[in-house]
Chains A and B, each alone.
Chain A
Amino acid sequence: MDEPESIAASTGDVVVLLGTTKGLFALAAGPERDRWALTGPWFRGEEIYAAALDTRRGRTRLLVGATSSHWGPSVYRSDDLGASWTEPEPETLAFPADTGAAVAHVWQLQPAGDAQPDVVYAGVEPAALFRSDDAGLSFRLDRNLWGHEHRPQWQPGGGGLCLHTVVTDPAGGPRLGVGISAAGFYRTLDGTSWEAANVGIRTPFLPDPTPVFGQCVHKVDRHPAEPDTLFLQHHWGVYRSDDFGGRWDEVGADDLPSTFGFPVVADPNHPGHAYVLPLTSDLFRCTPDGRFRVYGTTDGGASWRGLEHGLPQEHAWLSVLRDAFAADALDPAGLYVGTRTGEVFASPDAGATWRELTRHLPPVLCVKTAVMP
């Protein structure tokens, strides 16, 4: 079986990694983001829940969390844009023997900010956080979160009991937040003690409408210049916190066609700008009215408007998973959305206009971007 060539990208180019249920693909284009080349698949037949292109320190390291349904999960890396991959040896990411646990999926590979250029966090199923201090060569379990008193009571969402989101401190401080389905948002302010941080998030699917934990957090994102302000897409409701999860307030209920959805993306250039992709409801997880619309806010969530120019608006019953929507770091931001039916849509102008970059891929699990150093 022929493996693909490496990603053809050089300084200033934009790379979009597409993790699918059957392997990893990549799109690459110049900074104009008008002519895209698709490469892949790597890891044929494996589920790619997590991917990252780490460009800190000038490196171009691909990190991929791949799960073979036969041979299990692993984290692979490539320092030549996919021309060759390193098999972890010894095991890169695994639970310590005393936990009795085993990694089912690697859900997230999140490089920390430039202030911690060798730190990479990994979120896995069963819900746990790992940290690498050598840019992904090895990971160790965060035992403080693993030992949290709530953990025995955490319940899995439809995707399993997974830690799918890691919100890092761009200044390199110890503060850290994680999203766990369906346990909620947890944070540590000192890097050691973890607390549930879900005040204000309603849970209409539970008898207690405001439990301490048990929220079904789908995704959380923030702008690096305003790290206290978080946007959160919950199972029901879009929320904003201005104190790193100390309290949450619902936003968008008047403007969005539905407050159900999975991804939320903070614009990397403009604090207070964010994007969501509403789905009809938890019982009908398709775009409302057969129209594929991204919604954006430019005022911190106070108002939202549809961004659909160029997106299919008839008979488009699409669905997008929590990690299948990403923005690049250029200004205006490029936006990239992958669907469960294998289309990838992109906007080079922060959602003003869109076009389809490719179709017929396997279901898209994650979309991650980087600008080549």
Chain B
Amino acid sequence: MRAVLDAVAADHPAIGRRVRDEAGTLRRHVNVFVGADNARDLDDSDTLVPEGTEVVVLPAVSGG
């Protein structure tokens, strides 16, 4: 998943820094889903993204 987010950040820096801080940490109130699974429940940024799997970034219900 890290490589996916790196690629997004390279093409769209403004999106990249909203999803992760400059130290590379996923922001607290942002969830990244690999398929139907929240990456926090898997291996976080090390979660394996199988070929063809959709990665979805969503704001959490907390915050705001």
29 A-B pairs in the complex with CB atoms less than 8 angstroms apart: A68-B18, A69-B29, A69-B62, A69-B63, A70-B18, A70-B27, A70-B30, A70-B59, A70-B60, A70-B63, A71-B59, A72-B18, A72-B21, A87-B14, A89-B13, A89-B14, A90-B13, A91-B17, A91-B22, A95-B22, A97-B22, A97-B23, A101-B22, A102-B21, A102-B22, A102-B23, A102-B25, A103-B21, A103-B22
The 7 A-B residue pairs with the shortest CB-CB distance in the complex, in nearest-first order = A69-B63, A102-B21, A71-B18, A94-B22, A102-B23, A70-B59, A70-B29
Additional A-B contacts beyond A71-B27, A102-B23 (6; CB < 8 A): A68-B18, A69-B62, A70-B27, A70-B30, A70-B63, A94-B17
Q: Contacts A70-B30, A90-B13 given; indicate if A101 touches B23 (C-beta within 8 A).
A: yes
Distance between Cα atoms of A89 and B29 in the complex (Å):
23
Which A residues lie at the B interface, using CB under 8 A?
Answer: 45, 68-72, 74, 87, 89-91, 94-95, 97, 100-103
Tell yes or no: B50 within 8 A of A by CB. no
Cβ of B52 < 8 Å from any Cβ of A? Answer: no
Chain B, 24-64, contact with A by CB distance < 8 Å: what is the 0/1 string? 01010110000000000000000000000000000110111
A94 surroundings in chain B (CB, below 8 A): 17, 22
Which single residue of chain B is at the shortest CB-CB distance from A73? Answer: B21
On chain B, the residues within 8 Å of A90 by CB distance are 13
Q: Interface size of B by Cβ–Cβ distance < 8 Å?
A: 17
Closest to A44 in B: B64
Cα(A15)–Cα(B19), bound, Å: 34
Task: Name the residue of chain B whose CB is nearest to the CB of A99.
Answer: B23
- A94 to B20: give the CA distance in the assembly, Å: 12
* Docked pose: A309 CA to B62 CA in angstroms: 42
By a CB distance below 8 angstroms, the chain A residues around B13 are: 89-91
B27 to chain A, nearest CB (A): 5
Residues of the A chain whose Cβ atoms lie less than 8 Å from the Cβ of B30? 70-71
Residues of A within 8 A of B64 (CB): 45, 69-70
Chain B residues in 8 Å Cβ range of A74:
17
Least CB separation from A69: chain B residue = B63
- In the complex, the chain A residue whose C-beta lies closest to that of B16 is A91
Query: Which one of B13, B23, B60, B63 has the greatest number of beta carbons of chain A within 10 Å?
Result: B23
